[in-house]
């Protein structure tokens, strides 16, 4: 199915619904051009020099200029090995929560870079959000980062929030963590969350399969970046068991996926990661999970963070909001 071709993909016992809007507007086109001519060349250079001591912390530091949306209050939370941030509108109830896991190739980003999106979700859904600033490469492994994400889920459970009253949301690398947290909750005794949202997730960390069918015209990521991310990930892991666990989302069987909550996946039509979104959506549907795959033609990787200026991003965030509200309402009715 092409990026601009609306319709639905039927797979096994489930249906993956692909909703596509029109082409990108003027602001989205400008953002794409800026990414292609400014950001992509930097990432291409990084992919050939990833062993150098790049100042990755500067990305999140620069985002200090991005305040949360109005009408929310924030508080820092300390997890075992990292910090997190709790965001909510004043007076929001405490019987439900969103766990937000940011992207950034396990290297960059954090609480500041995603504060606008996180606070928008807290405001629009009325559900408090716990955003985890997990440890990052090259100083910690991807396995360490996942442990931090899982600690965020544990913190919410310890606070008395039922698993099915938690929506787990992640973008890019955080989308990978979101799926892994949901799987661990389902099979590890913490309980499956009530909703799952993955924005342009990377599912298979080993890039060869997706590169065989992916777009080579992604305005953000050259193919060399995925190879560099994989090599850096390999270099960070301590043993073979840890490495095998990293591949869990890509190798999960139908039986392992069965029982996951209603899932929303959003991805740009020309993204190099689009094959991952389509593959996991089809496999979730085959496992009987209610899943919606939304493909947005001409949109950048994780364009949702630009909801302040990109109309299509606002529409995408509205869809995320509705998905979380609907799924958590359903879980409340089941509990009642």
Q: Please identify every residue annotated as catalytic.
A: 172, 271, 301
- Do residues 129 and 122 touch, judged by C-beta distance below 8 A? yes
CA terminus-to-terminus distance, the chain: 41
- Distant-in-sequence, close-in-space partners of 335: CB < 8 Å, separation ≥ 6: 162, 164
Q: Which residues contact 290 (CB under 8 A, 6 or more apart)?
A: 14, 262, 263
Q: Measure Cα distances from 100 to 30, 152, 170 in Å.
A: 28, 9, 6
Backbone torsions φ then ψ of 296, nearest 5 degrees: -110, 105
Structure tokens at 185: 């909750």
- Max Cα separation, the chain? 55
Q: Counting every residue, how long is the chain?
A: 336
Asked if 94 and 159 count as a contact pair (C-beta separation under 8 A), the reply is yes
- In order of 102, 277, 319, the CA distances from 55 in angstroms are 19, 30, 35
Q: How far apart are CA 196 and CA 266, in angstroms?
A: 12
Tell me the C-alpha distance between 230 and 233, whole Å.
5
Helix (H, G, I), strand (E, B) or coil at 88: strand
Alpha helices in the chain (DSSP H): 26-34, 40-48, 57-62, 115-125, 142-158, 173-188, 208-211, 223-236, 240-246, 248-251, 254-257, 274-286, 311-335
């Amino acid at each position: 199915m092409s990026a601009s071709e609306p319709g639905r993909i039927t797979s096994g016992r489930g249906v993956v619904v692909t909703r596509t809007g029109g082409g990108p507007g003027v602001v989205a086109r400008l953002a794409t051009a800026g990414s292609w001519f400014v950001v992509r060349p930097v990432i291409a250079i990084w992919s050939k020099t990833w062993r150098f001591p790049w100042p990755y912390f500067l990305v999140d530091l620069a985002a200090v200029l991005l305040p949360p949306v109005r009408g929310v209050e924030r508080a820092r939370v300390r997890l075992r090995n990292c910090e997190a941030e709790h965001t909510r509108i004043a007076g929001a109830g405490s019987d439900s929560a969103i766990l937000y896991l940011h992207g950034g190739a396990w290297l960059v980003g954090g609480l500041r870079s995603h504060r606008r999106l996180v606070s928008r979700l807290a405001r629009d859904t009325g559900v408090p959000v716990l955003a985890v600033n997990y440890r990052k490469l090259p100083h910690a492994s991807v396995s360490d980062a996942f442990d931090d994400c899982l600690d965020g889920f544990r913190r919410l459970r310890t606070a008395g929030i039922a698993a099915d009253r938690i929506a787990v949301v992640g973008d890019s690398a955080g989308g990978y963590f979101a799926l892994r947290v949901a799987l661990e909750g389902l099979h590890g005794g913490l309980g499956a969350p009530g909703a799952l949202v993955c924005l342009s997730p990377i599912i298979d960390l080993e890039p060869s399969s997706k590169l065989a069918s992916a777009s080579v015209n992604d305005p953000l990521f050259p193919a060399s970046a995925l190879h560099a991310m994989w090599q850096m990930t390999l270099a960070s892991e301590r043993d073979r068991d840890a490495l095998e666990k990293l591949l869990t989302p890509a190798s999960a069987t139908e039986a392992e996926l069965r029982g996951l909550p209603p899932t929303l996946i959003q991805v740009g039509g020309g993204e190099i990661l689009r094959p991952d979104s389509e593959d996991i959506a089809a496999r979730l549907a085959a496992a009987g999970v209610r899943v919606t795959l939304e493909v947005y033609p001409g949109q950048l990787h994780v364009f949702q963070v630009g909801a302040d200026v990109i109309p299509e991003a606002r529409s995408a965030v509205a869809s995320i909001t509705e998905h979380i509200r609907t799924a958590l309402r359903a879980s409340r009715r089941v509990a009642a």
